[in-house]
Amino acid sequence: MRGNATGPAAPAKEEGRCDLAIVNGKVADVIGNRISQKNVGIRGDKICCVTSGEIDASAVIDAAGLLVSPGFVDFHSHVDGNPYSAECLVRQGGTTTIGGERNLNSHVFRRIEQDGFLINQGFSISHSFVLRNAVGVSDNRPATEQEIRAMADLAARFLDHGAFGICFGLELIPGTSFEEILKLSAVAKSYERPILVHLRKDGWEALSCFDEILQAAALTGVSVQILQLLYMVGIGGAMSGALDIIEKARAEGLDITADSGLYNAFSVCIGTGVFDKGWEKEYSGASAQDILISSGVHVGEYCNEEMFQHLRESYPETLVSAFVCDKDAIEMPLKKDYVYISTNAADGPHYMNVGAPEVSGAFPRLLGRHVRERKNLPLIEAIKKITILPARRYGLTQIGSIETGQNADIVIFNPDTIIDKADFPDRGRPDAPPEGIEYVLVNGDIVVKGTELTENRHSGRLLKK
């Protein structure tokens, strides 16, 4: 513990001194499904007691009026070792994230392993960008039988080294064959890890793309995570159809879950295949005017056709936010117990004052707007969607709940005031920190106090399955 908590130490009552006690707060019990007054003791990087009694500790946080929650687990992001993205995420309570959808930089991997990181960071292995490249399938053609075998061997090595699953970005590599999906699903299944899937198409066309994934799941028994429902099927009224498909598959015994976001725009680099010919139709008649420029000299401006083409050709790394999602598609998946909340944050360049608000606002937005203001779901259910449910889905048993022996990843917030302040760059700062979060602890260290980071910048770890 290298915390800097304030307040007088509690009198000695229990055996063994804790480094830190969080007292007078209400604890979110995500296993017992209730919120009750408890004190939490921390020793080293672990929770050492959760009690109604007093705790003898070297330092104390008085959490009166506040909720003590497990640290938020961001099921899917593109933080991928970027320190600024991690800063934004931890200030909104994110203590763990899993990435790797687009790449896996071995340099970043080793740096986190050696020096630690602001938050806990794990990776899945990307079929579409890492495995295919590694075996020389650089274009959009289906891999040969030999290449598929080589990818399967390589995937197994990554899974041996702790990758959390195999990630398919099929919308960007539509040349992927069913054979590739099937063989790699079998590899994932042999390690009891999930496949994480962005379907071949978005919007209505996505509904017909579930088939191959469900078939692979039925044939191999692999667990499936459908990534970012909102940004894939929250378009043109397709969300309810997608939820029906998932529910039917679950009823038939397939192990399928999903995650979703909270903003009606997805963010991506303008040069990607997402905006290849025909994209307007896929996104229900969207146009260049729906594309907000989120990085570079034109940040905060909406595109016109000319600007859109110019940026695609000359500045393909420009981050944009595409306002194509249905507003009612945000709340629909929130009510489903098989849907978790992920940020999808930091896909594309991310530094101060650029990007999308999801990196700084998603979890407070869930707890402030959707739980408190709109009453879309009970507080404890919302907390489960960003703690124990995503943690268990990845087989992470040391995080996700406030219990003795768990890693001390903790968010202390005011449920009456928590709210996101980040916004898209035409309206505000995408990286504005939220209000209502008082403390964030990562592995027992206080990493955020108020909206400020402390000196503890390396408390997070490289997570391996």
Is 202 a binder of Zn ion (CB under 5 A)? no
Of 59 and 386, the one with the shorter C-beta distance to Zn ion is 386
| Closest distance of CB 137 from Zn ion, Å | 21
| Rounded Cα–Cα distance for residues 312 and 411 (Å) | 40
Of 20 and 345, the one with the shorter C-beta distance to Zn ion is 345
* CA nearest to 265, candidates 292, 243, 284: 292
Q: Is 78 helix (H, G, I), strand (E, B) or coil?
A: coil
Of 55 and 108, the one with the shorter C-beta distance to Zn ion is 108
Burial of 116 (0-12, 13-18, 19+ CB in 10 A): buried
Stretch that binds Zn ion, among 93-101, 111-119, 155-163, 443-451 (CB under 5 A): 93-101
Q: Is 94 helix (H, G, I), strand (E, B) or coil?
A: strand
Of 344 and 401, the one with the shorter C-beta distance to Zn ion is 344
Number of residues that bind Zn ion (CB under 5 A): 2
Stretch that binds Zn ion, among 32-40, 101-109, 296-304, 362-370 (CB under 5 A): 101-109
Of 344 and 406, the one with the shorter C-beta distance to Zn ion is 344
Of 269 and 448, the one with the shorter C-beta distance to Zn ion is 269
Tokens of 106: 């071995």
| Closest distance of CB 454 from Zn ion, Å | 29
Of 101 and 180, the one with the shorter C-beta distance to Zn ion is 101
Stretch that binds Zn ion, among 99-107, 170-178, 322-330, 331-339 (CB under 5 A): 99-107
| Rounded Cα–Cα distance for residues 441 and 448 (Å) | 7
Among 101, 202, 282, 431, binds Zn ion (CB under 5 A): 101
| Rounded Cα–Cα distance for residues 50 and 69 (Å) | 12
Of 344 and 443, the one with the shorter C-beta distance to Zn ion is 344
Site for Zn ion in 353-392 (CB under 5 A): none
Burial of 392 (0-12, 13-18, 19+ CB in 10 A): middle
| Closest distance of CB 344 from Zn ion, Å | 4
Of 358 and 409, the one with the shorter C-beta distance to Zn ion is 358
| Rounded Cα–Cα distance for residues 221 and 159 (Å) | 17
The 310-349 site mask, x for binding Zn ion (CB under 5 A), equals ----------------------------------x-----
| Closest distance of CB 302 from Zn ion, Å | 23
| Closest distance of CB 76 from Zn ion, Å | 6
| Closest distance of CB 89 from Zn ion, Å | 14
The conformational region for residue 412 under phi > 0 = left, psi -120 to 50 = alpha, else beta, is beta
DSSP alpha helices (H): ranges in 252-378? Answer: 279-282, 305-314, 328-334, 358-365
| Rounded Cα–Cα distance for residues 74 and 123 (Å) | 12
| Rounded Cα–Cα distance for residues 392 and 107 (Å) | 28
| Closest distance of CB 141 from Zn ion, Å | 24
Ranges of beta strands (E only) in 346-450 are 410-413, 437-442, 445-449
**Residue 253: partners with Cβ closer than 8 Å, 6 or more residues away:** none
| Closest distance of CB 266 from Zn ion, Å | 9
| Closest distance of CB 228 from Zn ion, Å | 6
Residue nearest to Zn ion (CB): 344
- What single letter denotes the amino acid at residue 85? S
* CA nearest to 152, candidates 195, 185, 193, 198: 185
Residue ranges that bind Zn ion, judged by CB under 5 A: 101, 344
